Structure 1
């Protein structure tokens, strides 16, 4: 059936509007109950010490249709560092390392995102540590996107991510000169993010 010009124009406008609406980004809140963040760093060359931060919060805006990550931020409480050794954890909170009393928060703010596959990409962001900000690339994998089967039953993303940084880039140099503590830090993340259905 051939449409008249007014009908065709109206149809085009409706289709454009529908596409625009469907392409809107959604806000996702990191589920604090399902967020794991670990780090590894060599100790005197013998073996890596493994630890984590136990107090984390975050959110981001993501468009599933276009694959665009518009914004995002993660906040780690420096004092929540945990390596399963009280004396070492106390030292990590001191000025030699995290200086948690002066810099209580470690933040990562998304600045760019590049898709590398159907469910993979590289997130570039600004990591602020010890009052200094440096760019970091994080490799991310979208493991699953679906309605949650239990509990809240909201639409949820499951994500894995990893990155490698040199702590000296942020001025954390304790133990480097005598080889007591390595410079390279391996970071791994695994978390679930819940779609905010009330945000548009």
Structure 2
């Protein structure tokens, strides 16, 4: 597929986008999976083909299908959603490569702590008015103060997987 993304403003289609996490717990024996129910975003493609924008997640919308665990994850030990209601990935530069992948560099902010983050996305669909990107990358939760680790049960990295559908913004 040869991708040609038009310049201008793009809006995330939240109904056709997902952001999920996966983390191994219990000394690597159990995998906890969750999906953020509220995702928003926008971007701008420049005439030179580079792009920038943001993807914002509502921290309290993380759903792991376990109410007790979700309440704990939304609370002060982890996301502290009351004081830090959003998780934001600010994309400073996204450049389309010839192999229909996108090199992304930006800054991830969780719990008010910002760290550089990079990823490679794959363009899975593209037409004149919409583009879909998929990516998977890892995050060290300790860098964001998400370090509760009773008895060494939750070490390691968290995997973030996303499918993001952007549509051309109306003028």
TM-score (norm 1): 0.77
User: Segments of 4+ in structure 1 off by > 2 A?
Assistant: 112-118
The structure-2 alpha-carbon separation of the partners of 1:24 and 1:192, relative to structure 1 and needing over 3 Å to count, comes to: closer
Match of 1:118 in 2: 99
Aligned-partner SS, 1:58: strand
The structure-2 alpha-carbon separation of the partners of 1:24 and 1:36, relative to structure 1 and needing over 3 Å to count, comes to: closer
**Displacement after TM superposition at 1:100 (Å):** 0.5
Larger Rg: 1
Relative contact order: is structure 1 or structure 2 higher (C-alpha 8 Å, sep ≥ 6)?
2
CA distance in 2, matches of 1:192, 1:24: 15
Matched, 1:133 2:106: no
Q: How many residues align?
A: 166
**Which deviates further from its counterpart, 110-119 or 189-198?**
110-119
The runs of 5 or more residues in structure 1 that have no matched partner are: 1-22, 148-154
**Displacement after TM superposition at 1:24 (Å):** 7.4
CA distance in 1, matches of 2:76, 2:168: 38
TM-score (norm 2): 0.90
Residues 86-121 of structure 1, C-alpha deviations (whole Å, 9 max, x = no match): 000000011111001110111111112344433102
Matched, 1:32 2:18: no
CA distance in 1, matches of 2:141, 2:54: 20
Please provide the CA RMSD for this pair.
1.8
Among 24, 31, 51, the residue aligned to 1:42: 24
Among 97, 100, 120, the residue aligned to 2:78: 97
